[in-house]
Amino acid sequence: MNEVLLFALLTLGLLGTVAAVILYFVAQKFKVIEDPKIDLVDDVLPKANCGGCGFPGCRAFAEALVKSADVNKSIDGLNCPVGGNDVMKDAAAILGLEVQEQDPLIAVIRCNGSKANSPAKIDYDGPSTCAFAHNLYAGEGGCPHGCLGLGDCVASCDFDAIHMNPETGLPEVNDKCVACGACVKACPRGIIELRPKGKKDRRIFVSCINEEKGGVAKKNCAVACIGCSKCFKVCPFEAITMNNNLAYIDPIKCKLCRKCVEVCPTDAIHELNFPPRKKKPEVVENTTEKESVPAASSDNKNETQA
């Protein structure tokens, strides 16, 4: 019995030793030597792991930066929205490169179908997720493109940058937004867009994505874009395009002249963080009575004709 037990122990020990040796040589054969610059770049990243850069996490983004620097000799086109230009400069300095500064972005809500502008026609009674409701019905106000108001965008944000306004039933973005894009992906209606913050934090955009014809869109929402093209015609910078009954303002071409805001008949175009408009001076009509000139007498007329 003891001999059998001893033989079994020796056999298992020998098999374990052989397996360990094989695994060692396999590991040496296929080992990957990691570039030490990856650790250095990873250290300067914000460790948010939000995915806003397009990669699963900060470590994966650091690997992509180092690889791009080695292969393309550039890291342009890669961006950390949380860290911004400062973090990208630090990463570029580690890699011995220069990086072009990018305009900071912020999420904007392209829907103004509030409870007042798009009154509820039905009461929704179901799971409180936009993803579920989107597949079930058009929305309480009837707009198939409008905000459902169930807060999937709020749940997706790791930075406390978006909240639901109970009075309007719409999400609102605050200054904590880092443009990670999580809310954009979470919204099944696609009403959230990342746009440049703009000079002095000023932005102009069409707060509507409804592509229905004007009459139908206006029926469901008082402030819907009706595709009238007035903004398109008045824009001096060719920043506005019309497509599928909907106007869109290119944030790069837009010079913030606000002419489009003035002509929009439904107030579908929003202007944020602008100073109040100056009131046009009222034109005062001249009410001074003209001096009356007495008419010539008939005798004078006859003398003149003579």
Least confident among 95-104, 178-187, 296-305: 296-305
Q: What pLDDT is attached to residue 285? A: 54
The domains found in the chain, sorted by start residue, are: 36-94 (1.10.15), 105-272 (3.30.70.20)
Say whether 240 sits in a helix, a strand or coil: strand
Mean pLDDT rounded to a whole number for the chain: 88
Helical pair 58-71 and 36-44, crossing angle rounded to 10 deg: 130
pLDDT tens-digit series, residues 37-93: 999 999 999 999 988 898 999 999 999 999 999 998 999 889 999 999 999 999 999
C-beta pairs of 222-228 under 8 Å, 24+ apart in sequence: 222/117, 222/118, 222/266, 223/112, 223/113, 223/117, 223/266, 223/267, 223/268, 224/113, 224/143, 224/266, 224/268, 225/266, 225/268, 226/265, 226/266, 226/268, 228/265
Task: Return the closest-CA partner of residue 191 out of 212, 209, 214, 211.
Answer: 209
